[in-house]
Amino acid sequence: MKRLILASASPRRRDLLAEVGLRFEVIPSSVEEEHQDGLSPLEVARTLAGEKAADVASRLTSGIVIGADTIVVLDGEILGKPKDPEDAFQMLRRLSGRSHEVITALVLIEAESGKMMTGQETTRVFFKEMTDREISAYISTGEPMDKAGAYGIQGKGMLLVRRIQGCYTNVVGLPMMKLTEMLSEMGVRIL
């Protein structure tokens, strides 16, 4: 099997790859996740995923680098990782009782040839109506602080989600079906 490199330090992405039995290395990108003005949310995710993959691929002579960027979008606005508990509270208050999109852009780069492939997945997430007490209790767990949109569907945040429309693993941070299809096109078979 070809060498696979995940250009991310995300434990959630590592767990998803490991769960399907992929052998891979982790080489985190040094790209700063800054949202560029004037770009659509999808363009922001694609740009960041591409920059992460290219950064790591530039340091290698072989292997397929997996770059990913996941964003939460409400009313056309990107909700990044909260700066502090008050920021998390405001994000969750805005998400309460509404639906939003989670978009993950994927960029694969074959280091030896420079061949690049891009893809993306969008999932609609429907939140329950939350009280201020519920929001504060969730924030007190610490879980929202390192996650886009201030929640993690794979943890206690699942209690905030009424339903989803689309790919669950996308909301976790890596759309596995889409990634599997892309890797297959690059000659990597998982099943």
Which sequence positions are flagged as catalytic? Answer: 69
Rounded to an integer, what distance in angstroms lies between the CA atom of residue 43 and that of residue 49? 10
**Contact between 37 and 97 (Cβ < 8 Å):** no
**Contact between 150 and 92 (Cβ < 8 Å):** yes
Q: Which helix (H) or strand (E) holds 5?
A: strand 4-6
> SS3 of 64, please?
strand
Rounded to an integer, what distance in angstroms lies between the CA atom of residue 132 and that of residue 94? 11
How many C-beta atoms surround the C-beta of residue 93 within 10 A? Answer: 13
